[in-house]
Chains A and B, each alone.
Chain A
């Protein structure tokens, strides 16, 4: 019976997950392909029509798919719905998306529908998640707990029996009336106290050592950053290569937090963020001294006061608000938005040691090795040809970056023990310096050369 419940639960969970996957993919596709022209609230017109309820407006799905792939063809063919739309929106032509598969289009439509009907899909999944996964693990733990309690109870019973028996035996031997040992005396006898102290010391030492070893480690550390920079948007959706911004990884020991001017390479053009609008992106303009109102860098920016800077960027935020809200002047809501955003910008870009808005952005460092550790990104990225994700996790899926690995020495050493040197057979350095290993490989005496074999676990590989 329980099995049946479990499996059906699992099935439901999988189904929900699958649906969620479709909507998620649809969301991604929508944001990359459609969001430029179609409003993402699905209710209002932007350049193109609002997409909410689009499926009902089209007579059949095939036509809708054909329209999305190539609208002009459908118009020429004289499809009535297509002609109707062309009349309304001409001369704006919908961009053709011939590469989209049926499944992808279905996903986009699922997402559109999802948003339009405002069904809280997200809430659904979390709910199912809570039901789904933990049930199984809880049930396992539950069994252990029951077993444990049963054992403790058994031990307690046994000791009581033994004590009682011993009491009786002793009493008989001495001829006294047997006294039933009290409940209390069971816990106060020397053996139990001794054992308890011993257990405490062992447990205490274990915990101390364990915590001591972990001291200074910060796996899963995901602090708030001064800018809500999303790797999902940049590395995930827009598929910007990690090393476009972290350009030190291939040529230096540091991967390098990109300089503000690296951001400006793209954000001179993209001035409005997809998620936060002006709220976050304005921060890099403020740091770099770029005036988005005029599309120019501000002359002599270093000498401006914070108030002068505030005036420039408040104007920008206000203008953007008016454009989006389609109002001619700043309403109360707008003023509040401007002030709120600016207060946040000011807080993010200044600190006790940095009173000025201009200048570098003070990111919170997440990955930090102790000073006595030498680590080189280029060794791992350029020579070892590792993927960034191997140590940093799927950063492209992290809206807020967190430390994925422990970055402990054990973690490093384990990897060095297990990993074979990837370019051992083709890098001339290894070919020349490790002839003996190559001979052994050829003779079949060894199957591979791990990093450890070439000294990768020796102290002075990292500590000097």
Chain B
């Protein structure tokens, strides 16, 4: 029996009752022993000594006295000379645009203030992302203000771009190009039709030009398979919303795979419970070894080793084929028994839902992709859940072309190489070969924004604009277009890459206007898009309308004939049998390393392992069947091990990962950049070279690896999973289970209290934090839940104080609803919140000290089987309790309650006693331990991350991202989620100005608008017609820690799963 009485847990530390963790859980703040600080290599970070303190104190008093006598400094108020019509200082403008990075796409609205972009919102009009965003899209606004961006064109030497001019570089390039020159352009997936057209113009001038596209995390096999089978080299359009049964083979479609925002939106449609009476939801099987974001959301995870993936696919195919009359395929032996049984069950479910199911695979083997296609074909899913009309263009790369390019370069057959946004010197598995071959190319020009690993090896830098400075168009799916428009004048002397190619091609289509690339795109649209619509007869009207909406839909592909393919000869990968295996994967925040220099993404915890600023080797945990959970080879989180694969050996830190299959390991790619910039350099370990190449295609796994025992400790192991915990249980002296944070309570020696300890409020051992149920048992479960809640409410109503619920009935009463069935844990809300509320970035060292500042965290809980558990993600932010315990303990009334039910935090009153944080049962209050945003007077309080020279947020460029409507907090001040009070105020004012009632759309919090799945609803509880009121009526709702009588304003829904319970997990 693997399950024990523990219903839900956060990690091995609480299961093992780790005494150190238990103590930590009982304390709000991590204790940092001073002697340990002195030992640490970053002593200089400690900054002030006692002597310094006294000096500053003295100076402070003196300064205050002098200041009192002095005149107030003269401040200037500088208006425009000619005020742009569109800008009213103090009022935000929104522009529809697109976020694009390689194949990543999101239709966005860019919020600008006084002409500078400060926030990204989703564009509701887009048929692809439908208003959703991702963490990557949210963070792009910070990338614009990256101080490491190349400031202008020039010659590259020693990692610097020397002063050059566009005239000089154009002369150099045009001078070097001959009509017969062999030119190669290397990029990741290019989604812009205009850029493709510009390159075509360039190719017309130089016929020996070839565009080579690749993706570091490749879907090439799928492209090839679809080309073979359907004659279309494309990723099809998956309709997750039409699938009642989903089987995923390693494809992280909720996190990183191809178009996660779109897929998550569709997926969640069948996961939300609308009626509890006869609740239905889709069933999701996921076949993998390492727990991915998608796998963690699945109902059943089927554990197979990476090398068994092929066998698993073949097994599923054979099961399906046996029932539908397909030909059998050669399934290699070696698939583990449990998985074989589970695949059978999955096949049964699939067959019961023909035409309403979906099988996807992240495999990069053509044979396996063909088998997956065949499975879908046999299930009749083509034309229903898989179509080609709007086939996705978000992955177009084929790494076989890169291999060919390397050969050509090696052979001296390439005269000029243009690098277009790609970073092959870092992210190719054969980066070394690439670098050597690169030396053979006589002229190398990079249009990248940073002097990255590849650009540093080029001759010339011709930097492209950031997307927020660019004109552009995007075709993420066939016939689905969106536009990109500049929201700020270029910050540096950069030029759009399309314009560069047109210039170098001396194209006739190059206009002489102010914005030639804009004119070029307009001309293209006039030719290609304008005829596809009938609404507008004048092009300008059509253009203005499209630019305003940001998106345009034209007809797509015609559906191909869904041909079957002969599978009999297909060979899938052979299981490697015994021995350790490693899977390599992409994380939500880091991609293949292209997001490395973005501190918001570095500081956002990885949703699954919850580590920040680095990649960690996931090692499996095992349960001794009685009481302890132990990591592989006794490893603890943050231990260093040697990961050996063939000749190469890497020293990597480990994290114990529940759900990691026995004898398998996983590590994220995209880390270990050496030339990313001040924030991204030397973060994590570079594992790109561990990617194998098989038949020219990248394979993201490795068998025959060795993981050593403990070889050291990481300096600052930073994982937020055990920070700010609630309801952790421990054992008292008698072995009785108690709450860790009430260990002190248990030691009370008065017999009466001892007896009643379990009875009184706030000291219940079974705290209501997560409620979960299987969909089939939902009704019974809800009855119990309601009974329990009634009891809580009854007890809560027993009060000596007069009832004050009437207090909030006059105006608004703000509340929030979070649907745990919709939350997939992707973290978009975390980054959106940092962006909206000027939440500081603290760096790895400080996260390791429990000092992260995020206002919204996504708690990860496990339940079920220890070795293959299910996961719940719970977004947790200030609950704005109407009976808030933090408010009572503040000695200076810096936190108090508004008549609209907001728990107000007043920074300029706060003196930093931290009593409030200590008294918060949800652990959502954050103290500014240092002056992270350089808001206060004393430079000594400033804080540096990642050994940078200038403090992050200290330079004027980075500070441009700050939201002017939110105070920048200084050191020693407590902060927390404000329910985006600035948006509430703005929304109310807009309603008043327009002389109308307040609508739901007036006030939407940053986390709510960022969420791709609509898991978060914010609104006025007093508005009977509001969306929130409807959601608050759901019988699935519960309040976290309702028994403590803090009267939280946030409702959560019960997490429901639809696991196939016949399976072990």
Chain A contacts for B989, CB-based, 8 A: 376, 378-379, 383
Provide the bound-state CA to CA distance between A358 and B82, in Å: 12
From residue B802, how far is it (CB to closest CB) to chain A in Å?
18
- Residue A374 is within 8 A (CB to CB) of chain B in the complex: yes
Chain A residues 383-406 with CB under 8 Å of chain B are: 383
- Residue B992 is within 8 A (CB to CB) of chain A in the complex: yes
For B907, B982, B993, B1022, which residue has the most chain A Cβ atoms within 10 angstroms? B993
Instruction: Mark the stretch among B88-96, B421-429, B483-491, B513-521 that contacts chain A.
Output: B88-96
From residue A287, how far is it (CB to closest CB) to chain B in Å?
6
Chain A residues 412-464 with CB under 8 Å of chain B are: 423, 427-434, 436-437, 454-455, 458-461, 463-464
Picked from A218, A260, A368, A371, the residue with its CB within 8 Å of the CB of B80 is A260
Provide the bound-state CA to CA distance between A253 and B989, in Å: 11
Q: For the complex, would chain B's binding face be called helix, strand, loop or mixed by DSSP majority?
A: loop
Binary CB contact string for chain B from 66 to 104 against chain A (1 if under 8 A, 0 otherwise) = 011000101111111111000011110000000000000
Provide the bound-state CA to CA distance between A427 and B991, in Å: 9
Whether the Cβ atoms of A463 and B907 lie closer than 8 Å is: yes
Whether the Cβ atoms of A257 and B996 lie closer than 8 Å is: no
- Residue B116 is within 8 A (CB to CB) of chain A in the complex: no
Minimal Cβ-Cβ distance residue in A for B986: A376
Whether the Cβ atoms of B908 and A372 lie closer than 8 Å is: yes
Whether the Cβ atoms of B90 and A252 lie closer than 8 Å is: yes
- Residue B775 is within 8 A (CB to CB) of chain A in the complex: no
* Given contacts A251-B88, A437-B810, A427 and B995 within 8 Å (CB-CB): yes
- Residue A178 is within 8 A (CB to CB) of chain B in the complex: no
Minimal Cβ-Cβ distance residue in B for A461: B985
Picked from B68, B896, B995, the residue with its CB within 8 Å of the CB of A212 is B68
Whether the Cβ atoms of B908 and A436 lie closer than 8 Å is: no
Provide the bound-state CA to CA distance between A374 and B809, in Å: 26
Whether the Cβ atoms of B907 and A254 lie closer than 8 Å is: no
- Residue A205 is within 8 A (CB to CB) of chain B in the complex: no
Picked from A251, A288, A361, A370, the residue with its CB within 8 Å of the CB of B91 is A251
Chain B contacts for A212, CB-based, 8 A: 68
- Residue A256 is within 8 A (CB to CB) of chain B in the complex: yes
From residue B84, how far is it (CB to closest CB) to chain A in Å?
9
Provide the bound-state CA to CA distance between A258 and B82, in Å: 9
- Residue B231 is within 8 A (CB to CB) of chain A in the complex: no
Provide the bound-state CA to CA distance between A260 and B80, in Å: 7
Chain A contacts for B809, CB-based, 8 A: 436
Provide the bound-state CA to CA distance between A211 and B69, in Å: 9
- Residue A167 is within 8 A (CB to CB) of chain B in the complex: no
Chain B contacts for A363, CB-based, 8 A: 76-79
Provide the bound-state CA to CA distance between A370 and B935, in Å: 13
From residue B1000, how far is it (CB to closest CB) to chain A in Å?
13
Minimal Cβ-Cβ distance residue in A for B67: A215
Whether the Cβ atoms of A216 and B72 lie closer than 8 Å is: yes
* Given contacts A212-B68, A261-B81, A365-B76, A454 and B898 within 8 Å (CB-CB): no
Provide the bound-state CA to CA distance between A441 and B696, in Å: 79
Number of interface residues of B (CB under 8 A): 49
- Residue B761 is within 8 A (CB to CB) of chain A in the complex: no
Chain B contacts for A358, CB-based, 8 A: 81
Binary CB contact string for chain A from 250 to 282 against chain B (1 if under 8 A, 0 otherwise) = 011110111111100000000000000000000
- Residue B904 is within 8 A (CB to CB) of chain A in the complex: yes
- Residue A382 is within 8 A (CB to CB) of chain B in the complex: yes
Whether the Cβ atoms of A463 and B810 lie closer than 8 Å is: no
For A258, A261, A374, A429, which residue has the most chain B Cβ atoms within 10 angstroms? A429
Whether the Cβ atoms of A368 and B75 lie closer than 8 Å is: yes
- Residue A53 is within 8 A (CB to CB) of chain B in the complex: no
- Residue B899 is within 8 A (CB to CB) of chain A in the complex: yes
Whether the Cβ atoms of B900 and A455 lie closer than 8 Å is: yes
- Residue A334 is within 8 A (CB to CB) of chain B in the complex: no
Whether the Cβ atoms of A464 and B978 lie closer than 8 Å is: yes
Whether the Cβ atoms of A429 and B998 lie closer than 8 Å is: yes
Provide the bound-state CA to CA distance between A347 and B953, in Å: 35
From residue B78, how far is it (CB to closest CB) to chain A in Å?
5
Minimal Cβ-Cβ distance residue in A for B900: A455
Picked from A216, A248, A374, A383, the residue with its CB within 8 Å of the CB of B88 is A248
Whether the Cβ atoms of A460 and B82 lie closer than 8 Å is: no
- Residue B988 is within 8 A (CB to CB) of chain A in the complex: yes
Chain A contacts for B995, CB-based, 8 A: 427-429
From residue A159, how far is it (CB to closest CB) to chain B in Å?
37
* Given contacts A437-B810, A458-B898, A459-B896, A259 and B81 within 8 Å (CB-CB): yes
Minimal Cβ-Cβ distance residue in A for B906: A459
- Residue B968 is within 8 A (CB to CB) of chain A in the complex: yes
Picked from A362, A433, A437, the residue with its CB within 8 Å of the CB of B78 is A362
Minimal Cβ-Cβ distance residue in A for B966: A464
Chain A contacts for B981, CB-based, 8 A: 460, 464
Whether the Cβ atoms of B90 and A253 lie closer than 8 Å is: yes
Provide the bound-state CA to CA distance between A259 and B89, in Å: 11
From residue B967, how far is it (CB to closest CB) to chain A in Å?
5
Picked from A361, A378, A458, A460, the residue with its CB within 8 Å of the CB of B993 is A378
Whether the Cβ atoms of B74 and A371 lie closer than 8 Å is: no
* Given contacts A211-B68, A374-B965, A432 and B998 within 8 Å (CB-CB): yes
- Residue A48 is within 8 A (CB to CB) of chain B in the complex: no
Whether the Cβ atoms of A460 and B88 lie closer than 8 Å is: no
Whether the Cβ atoms of A260 and B68 lie closer than 8 Å is: no
Minimal Cβ-Cβ distance residue in B for A216: B72
Whether the Cβ atoms of A460 and B978 lie closer than 8 Å is: yes
* Given contacts A254-B89, A429-B995, A429-B997, A455 and B79 within 8 Å (CB-CB): no
Whether the Cβ atoms of B810 and A436 lie closer than 8 Å is: yes
Chain B contacts for A146, CB-based, 8 A: none
Provide the bound-state CA to CA distance between A458 and B814, in Å: 15
Chain B contacts for A423, CB-based, 8 A: 992
From residue A408, how far is it (CB to closest CB) to chain B in Å?
14
Binary CB contact string for chain A from 63 to 96 against chain B (1 if under 8 A, 0 otherwise) = 0000000000000000000000000000000000
Chain A contacts for B900, CB-based, 8 A: 455
Picked from B67, B79, B810, B992, the residue with its CB within 8 Å of the CB of A256 is B79
Whether the Cβ atoms of A248 and B89 lie closer than 8 Å is: yes
Whether the Cβ atoms of A259 and B810 lie closer than 8 Å is: no
Chain A contacts for B997, CB-based, 8 A: 428-429, 431-433
Whether the Cβ atoms of A460 and B906 lie closer than 8 Å is: yes
Whether the Cβ atoms of B967 and A372 lie closer than 8 Å is: yes
Q: A259-B80, A429-B988 are in contact. List 5 more A-B contacts (CB 8 A).
A: A248-B89, A288-B82, A360-B81, A362-B77, A378-B993
Q: List 13 A-B contacts (CB under 8 A).
A: A248-B89, A256-B90, A257-B79, A288-B81, A288-B82, A360-B79, A361-B78, A361-B79, A371-B967, A371-B968, A374-B985, A429-B991, A463-B907
Residues of A within 8 A of B (CB): 211-212, 215-216, 218, 221, 223, 248, 251-254, 256-262, 287-288, 358-365, 368, 370-372, 374, 376, 378-379, 382-383, 423, 427-434, 436-437, 454-455, 458-461, 463-464
Which 5 A-B pairs rank lowest in CB-CB distance, beginning with the nearest?
A432-B997, A252-B90, A259-B83, A365-B77, A259-B80
